[in-house]
Amino acid sequence: MPPRRVIGIDAGGTKLLGAVVDEGLVVHHRTHRGWRGADRRETLDVMVEAAEELRSAAPDTAAVGFGIPSLVDRATGASAWSTHLPLEGVPFREVMSERLGLPVHVDNDSNVALIAEHRHGAARGAQHAALLALGTGIGGGLLLDGRIYRGAAGFGAELGHMVTDLDGPDCLGNCPGRGCLEALASGSAIGQVAQRAARAERDSALGKQLARGGEISGALVTDLAHQGDELARDVITQVGRRLGAGLVSIVNALNPEVIVIGGGAVAAGDLLLDPARAVVEERALPPARDSVRIEGAHFGPEAGMLGAALLAFDASQS
């Protein structure tokens, strides 16, 4: 008899990753969707289409777990607020369960990513951990005393919206803040810093990409940096140091054993993490700074997808 399977879906600010996953965390089918500027109906339709595609490939799936970039009301499964998707006020669990005809379970995308990393990845064995997911924005998750911390109503651990520069740039999406870590150190921020660098250095690879009218994305900058491009590496280093400033606050406030860096931007690896580690070493308080580990996510950008599957398994067993 094949292992029981569920669907795990991680819906980010610009893309969706989904998979059919068994109890051994083996992925049997994957799907991917992109979206930019979709309205509420389109966003929900894409999620339903992705889930139905996966279910058609594995009709025995028992439930669907969603990780969404929202402040999720744990009691109702509703999306109370989302910085990057038009999901404010959506009774998400109810809507998705009705449309899919399956049990649906939902939590914040970074919470479920941390579940995966705590049980099977970079935070395995830790009792105190934090996760930052660097993508379109920065999601945050906390593990305190071995349990995921969600706050009084499920709205806690939005570490990407720590203010690290009171007079900094406006934050992204629907966030009303300024100078949030998300605005300074996300995957989107890598692209913004690179845009400015490209305008200043027209003869560079980034400058030539700009002159051609091509997109200067965090992924492009990361690829160039891995190829040894000096300007791209400078951009990654600058953003890495900004990230480090946010990590200093996490280390000082929470004294975690490990901080896991996930999301798409973790593809930069130590080019991003080493500058962040250096800032922590320079500025965080001892002895917490001397014991904390800063690690890339074991599951990379798929941590949220796998964590959403674990959420579904947990709920179906309770």
Average pLDDT, consecutive stretches of 10 residues, N- to C-terminus, the chain (318 residues)? 84 95 95 90 96 96 96 95 95 98 96 98 98 96 96 91 94 95 96 96 95 93 97 98 98 98 95 98 97 97 97 86
Tokens linked to 218 = 């965090």
Strand order in the sheet with 104-108: 27-34, 15-22, 5-11, 64-68, 104-108
CA torsion, ordered 97, 101, 102, 106, to nearest 10 deg: -20
**How confident is the model over 190-234, as pLDDT tens digits?**
999 999 999 999 999 999 999 999 999 999 999 999 999 999 999
Domain 5-113+302-317 has CATH 3.40.50.2000: no
Q: What integer pLDDT is reported at residue 316 of this predicted model?
A: 79
The two domains 5-113+302-317 and 126-297 share their CATH topology (first three levels equal): yes
- Residue 31: phi, psi to the nearest 5? -145, 160
CA-nearest of 65, 227, 87, 68 to 136 is 68
The Cα–Cα gap between 5 and 20 comes to 7
Q: Give the distance from CA 222 to its chain's centroid.
A: 17
Q: What integer pLDDT is reported at residue 1 of this predicted model?
A: 47
Do strands 5-11 and 70-73 pair parallel, antiparallel, or not at all (unpaired)? Answer: unpaired
Tokens linked to 311 = 């959420």
Expressed in percent and rounded to 5, the helix, strand and coil fractions of the chain are: 45, 25, 30
Q: Give the distance from CA 170 to its chain's centroid.
A: 20
Q: What integer pLDDT is reported at residue 303 of this predicted model?
A: 97
Q: Which CATH architecture has domain 126-297?
A: 2-Layer Sandwich (3.30)
Eight-state DSSP code of residue 285: P
**How confident is the model over 235-284, as pLDDT tens digits?**
999 999 999 999 999 999 999 999 999 999 999 999 999 999 999 999 99
The Cα–Cα gap between 129 and 146 comes to 8
Cβ atoms of residues 151 and 157 within 8 Å: yes
pTM: 0.95
Q: Where in the chain are the domains? A: 5-113+302-317, 126-297
Q: What integer pLDDT is reported at residue 82 of this predicted model?
A: 95
